[in-house]
Structure 1
Amino acid sequence: MSEIPWLTIVGLGEDAPEGLSRASLAALETAEIVMGPPRHLSLLPDVDAEQVAWPVPFADGIARLIALRGRRVVVLASGDPFWFGAGSSITQHLEPDEWVALPSPSTFSLLAARMGWPLEQTKCFGLHAAPFTRLRPELACGVRMIVLLREGAAVHALAAYLCESGFEDSLLTVFEAVGGSRARQTRAVASVLPEVDFTHPVCVALEVSGQGAVLPRASGRPDIWFGNDGQMTKRPVRALTLSALAPRPFEHLWDIGGGSGSIGIEWLLTDVSLSVTCIEPREDRAARIVQNAATLGVDRLHVVQGVAPDALEGMTRPDVVFIGGGLSLALLEWLEVHLPAGTRIVANAVTLESEALLAQTHARLGGDLLRIELAQAAPLGKLRGWKSSYPVVQWSAVL
């Protein structure tokens, strides 16, 4: 029989201790130390273990917990510790045989059961420490969401955000202390949410409704979604560029010459596992990239203000590189020398000089060379004609 782990992570419901499993009760009875937030500690049955309040900020408690290695420790968490909970934040610092988890039903499961919603078709968000804009890519009529919130005041802030986004007709069902003796439920439309002092812990079941703009799923979102000063990869070229970049789960992108950040933002909208670093030399554009990313719910985008290739030194190596601005021979040579084989590169060029550089690079390194010529119907006197955009040359290759 394998040795019993020194750490047990116990998920609590609001009705603890009545709702604790036998395994959870046994872990608490044999524990030397119990760590958890004060609210969770207050829900405990009588135990002999020393009780230690988990510090704020949360990260400060990790070192304190690890220092207890070798003693019998129980850490308390809410519901299922591995669904927007503390579980993974703790276990990433431990070996697999050092811990065991005993979850309770998650808040998501409890709310779905009360609402009668199929959980696999319901969007689930933990916004304890994240902005409401994380919801933006999912806001569309008919979408159902379960949203965990940090505090009672956040319910009114969520309703205000929905109204600002044009979804003021959304139906909110607010749950306080769900599953516990203090449980309370309030149902209202976002635009007429009553002035109730909601109390923690609080969460919302949300049915989205209204006339707000819906962010399309396909790459090449309309340009209007991106604040810009004219320096931006336009929608049709952006769609072709994202196709060439071909994002895959867990990949990291360097977006060199970020401009408005539209390429990096659309890269992140593809999958939550993706990451990106935008390199932009101008301070005003770097700030605009940050704002655009936050507005569209991908605030995990990282911006570095600087000029490539100098700004690339010491950065996390990418799986994919996009060059939308600042193309030069020095940059291409740096990438070829410093990046490993298998790195994908996509570069767009508009000027004759940069086009010639890509043609030479294609002849030397291979890959695909594409010339994109677009024209849009526009007034021509009393009639209409084709107004051509500058042609774009796109080179894509694998080192």
Structure 2
Amino acid sequence: MILEKFSNWIVSFQINFVERIRLGRSMLGFMAVPVEFFYAVLSKFNLASPPKVKFNRYVIEYRKTNPVEQQSEQPIAIVTGANSGIGYTTSKALMLAGFHVIFACRNKDLATEAMDKIKKETNLETCEYMHLDLSSFESIHQFTTEFKSKYASLKLLVNNAGVMMCPYLKTKDGIEMQFGTNHVGHFILTNNLLDVLKRSSPARIVNVSSLAHLFADTTIEKIIERTTNPKKYNKIWNYGNSKIANIMFSTLLAKKLSGTGVVVNSLHPGSVNTGLTRYSSFDNNFLVRFIKSILLLSPTAGSLTTIKVATSSDLENVTGKYFARENETTALSFSQNIPACQELWDFTESLIQEHSA
């Protein structure tokens, strides 16, 4: 864990330094991104504790502290975007740990293919597909209605799915796609499931954010403007806004759920070599794919923070925190500002009301 903690310390120092002297977040991003590549490359030489070993360790530790024979019923987990990338490896770990995993995905064929692959790899059948399109209010409500008709409990919700740096698009309900899918969709999904989560406590909510929140606007007014005005759209800044919204949602929801037995945390999974960069014009280039394999984490490595936050007994009472590289770390101070988090919550609710049929 030395490399992980050292890398987090560098980024934390950069955030504190830049915020203190007001250098600007463009400079902060410029400083922080090389640390990502530095960590990803060096972590590949960690022969003593490679990603697969850590992956297995988290699974074994969970099973030891939660013996199957002592459970009255199998715990249920929902993972959005479970069919690929870190969602896939997270789902695999949860199945091995003893969860029944709901693959909450938009594409049934891809989800079925992913589940068949996991079943062959694990000899487990403890997963199922349920359709969920986070860019559609109707789909989200249908998903939660169907889930509640089948299950009375929910131990874990992993809000993992997302869209990254796409051209200007709108959700089915008319909201800017990145903010609408990455934040608003998960906001509705989570709130719809809170009654089940509370009833199932202790339970956990894990929101997958990103280091890209460093590129977010840091006033609610700017976030609102960039979300609602197509002329202000910038695929990088809008993505950053959706990711800082994930953290701010976690910060405030943790306070709202205090005393309920439901904990909420957010995390940066790392710069991971997945299909999330599909909107990049260079992504199909062989040389770029080769460079990415060197400079970016594998999906297994990228899923480790999610798996730890979702399963570690050391974190069962930890809530409202932000993690990266398997450890609690620093996010932009704006993401921890409770009045700003409440303003974002209120804006999200008004946006939902405005775009509801």
Greater relative contact order, per chain length (Cα 8 Å cut-off, separation 6+): 2
Fold agreement, TM-score > 0.5 = no
TM-score, normalised on structure 1?
0.32
Question: Normalization by structure 2: what TM-score?
Answer: 0.35
